[in-house]
Amino acid sequence: MQLREIRNPEPGPGQVVVHVKASGVNPLDLKIAAGQAAHAQRELPAVPGMDLAGVVDRVGEGVTGFVSGDEVYGLTGGVGTLQGSLAEAVAVDAMLLAHKPRSLSFREAAALPLVVITAWEGLVDRARVGAGHKVLVHGGAGGVGHVAVQIARRHGAEVFATDAPHKLASIEALGATGIDYRTPVDEYVEKYTDGEGFDIVYDTVGGPVLDASFAAARYYTGHVVSSLGWGTHPLAPLSFRGATYSGVFTLLPMLTGRGRGHHGEIAEAAAALVDSGELTPLVDPRRFTLDTVADAYALVQSATAAGKVVIDVA
């Protein structure tokens, strides 16, 4: 990655030009940079970055929901044909934007879009989480995981979450029951559900954890959701329980143009939860700029960040 001067963007029909204040870093950003995510690759040279928070500068023809000076955030680019957020200004589809939560800084807001949309689509759109559900989140202290825990609790569910032992305290602080990820599946299924299984299992880890998720679902009515469905997995454990599986592919609206408005709707709903004190992003305190993007990526790669890594753009 290299810093370059590019042409200042102009808003097209339905677009908004945003002065970017902060850009969140996601593991997918690293995969794209390494050429490993073929489904999300852009033609080079390309500006990376998926999440942003900033201030509206200009609006294009047909845009009615935003005006100059609005503080906004969203999952807006960095894949397909869409310019990313690691730039001082970017023209984005207004449907992908929402008004920034008033109670958050730009850094905090930039930490939310991808993870909150991924968590929401899995729990609310697919699994219809609600009161009385027992929800298990794999990777509960991670980016998507810590947001999924909060969204599930907001909807009245009793929440359990797996992760490494040193991360269980942060899970408990969010109001969930922490489970050491090394614990055998049948052991915690028996302990917390009397052997029946969880109503909803959200896998944010992938690989063998998806297989474990199939074995943890409630008989007949259980619903497994995963945001990392790569690989080959036997469906027999899920079928033997009569349960359901759904995959979440958050990039689809950005890559195809279909359903973009729903991403903006989720971000608006999430902003309301934030401002009511029901959703809080975890942000790593270390600071990065456009000059030190590589260092930010290295921190994410190390898996040692204490929350979402965010780059200060402005």
Q: pLDDT tens, 104-134? A: 999 999 999 999 999 999 999 999 999 999 9
Q: Are 210 and 230 in contact (CB under 8 A)?
A: no
Q: What digits encode the pLDDT tens for the residues 217-267?
A: 999 999 999 998 778 899 999 999 999 999 999 999 999 999 999 999 999
In angstroms, the Cα distances linking 58 to 18, 92, 231 are: 7, 11, 43
**Mean of per-residue pLDDT scores for the chain:** 95
Cβ(16)–Cβ(91) below 8 Å: yes
Between helix 113-120 and helix 143-154 the angle, nearest 10°, is 50
Task: Give the span between the Cα atoms of 100 and 102, in whole angstroms.
Answer: 6
The pTM for the full model equals 0.95
- What secondary structure letter does DSSP report for 198? B
269: Cβ–Cβ under 8 A, 6 or more apart, which residues?
120
